Amino acid sequence: MKNLRTFFMEDPLENNRFKAKFNLGESGGRPRTVQELLTLSDLSEEKIVQEFLKISLCDSPNWGRPDLREIVSRMHAGSKVENVLITTGTSEALFLLFRYLKPKSVALAIPGFQLLYELPLALESEIIPLPVRWNQNGIPTINESEWLDILKEKKPECILINNPHNPSGLVLSQEFIDKIMQISLEISATIIGDEHYRFLSHETQQLGFTIYKNSPKVFVTGSFIKCLGCPGLRIGWCVGPTEALSYMQNEKNYTTHTVNPITEWISYEVLKNFESKLFLYMKEEWLETKRILKNFLDKSQAVYGMIPNGGLVTSLGLKKNYDIKSFQYVMKTVEKNGIFVLPLAAMEVGSFSFQKEMNLNSNHGSNINQGIGFRLGLGSSPQDFKSALEALELIL
Ligand SMILES: Cc1ncc(COP(=O)(O)O)c(C=O)c1O
């Protein structure tokens, strides 16, 4: 495996995470405390203390706590407990999975979360971009036939579907995913669904659909830690064929080995009931911040773009026609004023060949395609989010 390049978004995130007055750069929900997670999952404080103090800090089972695996399995119809491996965040699940698959080529939506193409690159896979473009109005779009043609022509060994998508907030339709699945069968490709935002992929359903099917060539990775604002919990999973998971679990023995029992206990308590107040409030807050953003975008004289269909991020552009240099200056000014948003350059937007071609053909769509824009996270309380957007408008 080759060296991994710098993880470009991490420095800006870390530099602002603990000091920005308004942190709109993250991709997850507002940070929640252990107390919030557990009391809103119907545990009394007395019970929490009792249970916590009783936890034995032994190694958890290598594949994860059986009752937790059982819950994750129930979220993926057609799977059994043996099809679930509990991991240290979705990142570890993806890391182990790519090391197992070692695909010669991977097709995925670009731009995308860096880890999703960086790992295959380090494994010397060819990356086949499935373009996501922003139109003049800042609406992220995909050309479905273009994606299907690319898949038919390039026949990637692996197709990765990040749904809902970071950083556009797009949610692919079930019908379109079915078409991709059909092609994957024809070209014998492995499918990976990165369903990190599944809990926030539908406005009314508690859990959006999954691409999971019980098949030797279908894998799903996921978690709840971004949606519920507890990324520090570091838990995730991979659902797939047992033999592959077994290989991955062996690699895990050399590194994180198991997820710690405290994390597994909290995760079990959280996941045992999707109808709990915790999930209810998460959804309500998400809908409220989406409404606030919609209102803001309808009126803003400085910013344009679309609210996310799913997940907690969207990518926005600036109405004034900045070049890269002046845009960077504006971003610095925003940051100095206590508001952090993630410049899209930190996700390499503008540097992929289809984006450069758009520029050359003066078929610009939006400047967002050239990296003149920012990723906005919706993970704040509605009050803070509203105040942050008002402050942002003033500065811009
Ligand atoms: C699309 C996507 N996949 C995977 C991850 C990794 O998540 P985790 O924190 O669970 O490792 C992220 C994190 O932001 C993400 O946005």
Q: Which domains does the chain have, with CATH numbers?
A: 10-32+277-395 (3.90.1150.10), 38-271 (3.40.640.10)
Write down the pLDDT at residue 362: 65
Pocket of ligand 1 (CB under 6 A): 27, 89-91, 113, 162, 166, 194, 196, 223, 225-226, 231, 236
**CA dist 13 to 114, 178, 211, 353, Å?**
14, 36, 30, 26
Q: Reduced to 3 DSSP states, what percent helix, strand and coil does the chain have, rounded to the nearest 5?
A: 45, 15, 40
Ligand 1 atom closest to Cα of residue 88? 11
DSSP labels, 131-179: E-EE-TT--EE--HHHHHHHHHHH--SEEEEESSPTTT-----HHHHHH
Q: How far is the CA of 116 from the centre of ligand 1 (A)?
A: 9
- 126-140 pLDDT per residue, tens: 999 999 999 999 999
1-57 pLDDT tens trace: 999 999 999 999 999 999 999 999 999 999 999 999 999 999 999 999 999 999 999
Q: What is the pLDDT of residues 173-187, one digit of tens each?
A: 999 999 999 999 999
The answer to which of 308-312, 344-348, 358-362 has the lowest mean pLDDT is: 358-362
What's the 89 CA to ligand 1 centre distance in angstroms?
Answer: 8
90, 117, 220, best to mutate for ligand 1 pocket (most atoms within 8 Å of CB): 90
CA-94 nearest atom, ligand 1: 4
Average pLDDT over residues 357-362: 74
Which atom of ligand 1 has the smallest separation from the CA of 28? 14
Contact indicator for 60, 207 with CB cutoff of 8 Å = no
Confidence (pLDDT) at 363: 65
Q: Quick count: other Cβ atoms within 10 Å of Cβ 213?
A: 15
Are β-strands 158-162 and 190-194 bridged in parallel, bridged antiparallel, or unpaired? parallel
Distance 242 CA to ligand 1 centre (A): 23
